[in-house]
Amino acid sequence: MDADEAFGDERTRGPTATVFVIYFLSPLSPRVQPEWALEDGDDDYGEETMEDVDKEDSTYYAAEHVLLMIDCHPSMFERYIPLLDEETGDGQEIEGEQISLRSPMEVALEVAKSLFRVKIKDVAETKRGLRDALGVMLYNCNPYRGCMEVDNDGESDCELDKLDPAHIYIDLKPPGTEQALKFQNTDGLWLKIKREFAAEKGSKGDEKDDELQSRLQKALVEAAKIFEKKTNKDDPDDLNTIWIITNNDDPHTGDEDRKSRLIDCVMKEDLYDRKIYVHVMPLPKKAKDETRCDKFDKEVVYNSLVTAKNQVEDAELFEDTDGTRPIDMEVMTERLGNISRKQRKFVSAPLLLPGWKENGCPGIMLDLYACTQSKKSPGRVAVHQETNKQIYTKSIRVVEGDVKDSIPVEELHTYAQFGRPVSIHQDDVDTLKRLCTSTNDEKGLVLFGFKRMRTLDQIDHSHLMGRHYVARANPYRVEGSGKALYNLVESMKRKNVYGIGELVSRKKSISRMVAIKPGRNEGELLIMLLPFKEEIRTIYDQDIGFADRESVDAAKEMITKLTWKFDGGSFEECLPENPYLQSVSGTNRTNRNTLHGTTALTATNQVSLGTEMSPVNFEGTQMDVEGMNAKAKAEIEKFISTLPIDVVKSKQAGKKRKADAAAKSPAGGDRFAKEPIGEEWKDRLYSSTIGALKNDELKAFLKGQRSSTNGSKADLVRRIEDLLFKHYRV
């Protein structure tokens, strides 16, 4: 669509203000980071071309669902990996660095522990990643792990059924306190996993077992089923990934047929159809010479399972885990933290052009990202001391009346102001919000028209700076969105205009009018919320805004007249008295040397012996108003005359206090007046049928007589009878 169409009127929605848009985004890997976040002023930095608009690298994801698959091969539990241990300092010294030996399983558990903590901290501090899910699967486990007795020939006398070699250690769900506590002690955890899941050499499940060659493929198929069963709300743009952590670079021992079936499973069939991507964390292999480790060769199998983009990311993340040098876990934890600090998508919504309803146009699919991210300290979490599980507090809503009963969720109502408070159900509120939007029942960004760029400076939205969004095309949802957005942005730049539209981020949210401005990069939009009238600060007509030359000169003259003059001699003579120093030392204008005399000795004795100190005299710091007026009264009045006049709101007369208005009834009587008693109560008293009434009727009568409504039903009946006896004087 060309930007020459449908210019709106020139009215604006606020006073003049200069807008400074701040792009603050967390660091991403260069493969997925936008151009404006990478650009640092380097002239050699290449510009984005039209061929780069539709690349996969420009795609962002709303949530990350990660399943860690940890190999339980017997070699994973042998300690041979050099690990930097700067805190304890134990182990051998290589090139001035203290190292210690760890097993591959210990390293894998440390990675899982760090990733869990990073995810939990990210949610607690920034409220991002609420839909992220993290789980742990142990594969290549001992299928006879329930039986511990094995004969010399490798046969087991255990009659237990053969178990699945893949075991779900932690379910795929949002990480919380329970998962963090499970990884609290990784030193003993790897031994526990070894005793329960690792296959002993010589038993079923070792390298001689033919089924071992297909266990990785079976585990990947089971992992694909786990992603289908996850409890998180799914979104088409969510990223599902599997991290394989192993030290075996050839799980099929050279069998090309099994290797090809594994590649088809990952790249074409089970995982590819579900949009599940694989990452590999290589761990060094144990060499025949126990003094060193062999390098993990990803070219054998695993590079065929990982996309080209993920290979680059894995090389940056796990560059020190292939056995070339000792592993630094602090650096590894920092890199894992950078993964979670990816800029998350705010919403995916189509840009709907004028006439989209009549033409049935799907619009240009956009991904919106917030320009700012807030961070705060996490709150405390209550954990049960025995079960180590988080304690949740359940709250219910009650009616503040005579009887406090909990209200079911379906009976809760929202009160809206339509001239007077009316009861309206939340479903009706959502319906009203949906009918008041241009998209009716779908989220989206509707483009109404364009206005000249000069009118954008007259809109005051500086206080909404944290609510700006960057929009980029998503050609994978709607084909051709990248080129369409590129042409629209370039047309807006040529015509020097910006768009006016309506943003509906969720189906049940209130729509906001926005300004759609071309971004810094090609094929990018900056969406700025336009404020409501009540969000704009009032600026009075008399407010000059900035100091003019007249007020500045008047201020300089006043300051010059009231400045202390120092023409030589002792600078101390022109300074006022210091009441704090005078109270301790007893100094004054007549005798400056008493600090070294008896007064100083008295002050020392008071401090050392703990006797009562002399009271402090503050009168020496009082403002000398008469002296200032005598010296610079004309300059002070001149400066005051140049200042803007303060607008003082006058009090509206005629309004009475609420307490006075509520003290009387509508008829003009006392609000504490009792209600009249009907003749039916006399009949009930004589017939002794008051006890047959319900509690609500009894309490209503007592309220009308300004009597207490507390107690049991028998107390209420007795209280009513006493009132009726006094009233009828029986």
Statement to judge: residues 460 and 557 lie in one domain? no
Nearest-angstrom CA–CA distance, 365 and 53: 13
pLDDT tens for each residue of 562-589: 876 666 666 666 666 665 555 554 444 4
Q: Is residue 40 part of a domain?
A: no
Query: CA 512, CA 569: separation in Å to the nearest integer?
Result: 69
Q: Write out the residue range of the structural domain in which residue 633 sits.
A: 549-642
Look at residue 30 and tell me if it is in a domain.
no
Q: Given a cut of 80, is residue 88 above it in pLDDT?
A: no
- Please count the structural domains in the chain: 4
Residue 630 has pLDDT above 50, yes or no: yes
Q: Which residues pair with 151 in a beta bridge?
A: none
- pLDDT, residue 384, reads 81
Assess whether 333 and 357 both reside in one domain.
Answer: no
Least confident of 227-231, 493-497, 513-517: 227-231
With the CA atoms of 486, 490, 491 and 495 taken in that order, what torsion angle do they form, in degrees rounded to the nearest 10?
Answer: 160
pLDDT of residue 498: 92
Looking at the structure, do residues 199 and 255 belong to the same domain, yes or no? yes
Final residue of a structural domain among 598, 613, 642: 642
Residues 301 and 351 in one domain: no
Average pLDDT for 117-134: 78
20 within some domain: no
Same domain, 469 and 365: yes
Distance CA 587, CA 597 (A): 10
List the alpha helices (DSSP H) in 318-374. Answer: 329-340, 356-359
Instruction: Kindly state the average pLDDT of the residues 255-267.
Output: 77
- Report which residue type is found at 641: S
In a domain, 10, yes or no: no
Residue 238 has pLDDT above 60, yes or no: yes
Given this model, what pLDDT does residue 146 score? Answer: 62
Q: Which two tokens stand for residue 119?
A: 């995810």
pLDDT-derived band at 274, boundaries 50, 70, 90 = confident
**Separation between Cα atoms, residue 600 and residue 299, nearest integer Å:** 85
Same domain for 712 and 611: no
The DSSP letter of residue 576 is P
| Domain limit, last residue, from 291, 315, 341 | 341
Pairwise pLDDT comparison (543 vs 336), residue with the higher score: 336
The pLDDT value recorded for residue 458 is 65
Joined tokens for residue 304: 């065929």
Compute the distance between CA of residue 426 and CA of residue 406 in angstroms, rounded to an integer: 18
The DSSP line for 214-278 is GHHHHHHHHHHHHHHH--SPP-TT-EEEEEEEES-S-TTTT-HHHHHHHHHHHHTSHHHHTTEEE
Mean pLDDT across the stretch 359-367? Answer: 83
The residues, ordered by sequence, that sit 6+ positions from 426 with a Cβ below 8 Å of its Cβ are: 412, 413, 414
Residue 209 pLDDT class (50, 70, 90 cuts): very low
697 SS3 class: helix
Query: Which of 470, 503, 535 is the C-terminal boundary of a domain?
Result: 535
Please state the φ and ψ torsions of residue 464, each to the nearest 5 degrees: -105, 25
| Residue 411: C-alpha distances to residues 364, 420, 432 (Å) | 41, 21, 19
Output 241 or 86, whichever has higher pLDDT.
241
Evaluate whether residue 321 is within a structural domain.
Answer: yes
pLDDT-based confidence at residue 24 (cuts at 50, 70, 90): very low
Q: For the residues 78-98, what does the mean pLDDT come to?
A: 57
Inside any domain, residue 624 = yes
Q: Which residues pair with 69 in a beta bridge?
A: 137, 244
Residues whose CB is less than 8 angstroms from the CB of residue 355 and which lie 6 or more positions away in sequence, other chains included: 361
Contact criterion met (CB below 8 Å) for 637 and 558: no
Residues 512 and 609 placed together within one structural domain of the fold: no
Strand positions, DSSP E, 453-536: 469-473, 497-504, 512-518, 524-529
How many CB atoms sit inside 10 A of residue 607's CB?
11
pLDDT confidence tier of residue 682, bands split at 50, 70 and 90: confident
Q: How large is the average pLDDT for residues 224-235?
A: 73
* pLDDT score for 13: 35
DSSP state of 406: B
Q: Which helix (H) or strand (E) holds 125?
A: helix 104-126
Both tokens assigned to 345: 């998508």
**Angle between helical axes of 104-126 and 329-340 (0-180°, round to 10):** 40
Among 106-115, 436-445, 616-625, the range of highest mean pLDDT: 106-115
Query: Does any domain span residue 9?
Result: no
Mean pLDDT confidence for 613-642: 76
Same domain, 519 and 591: no
Per-residue model confidence (pLDDT) at position 610: 62
Span 78-93, average pLDDT: 60
Same structural domain, 228 and 364 = no
In the 8-state DSSP scheme, what is residue 592? T
pLDDT at 452 over 60: yes
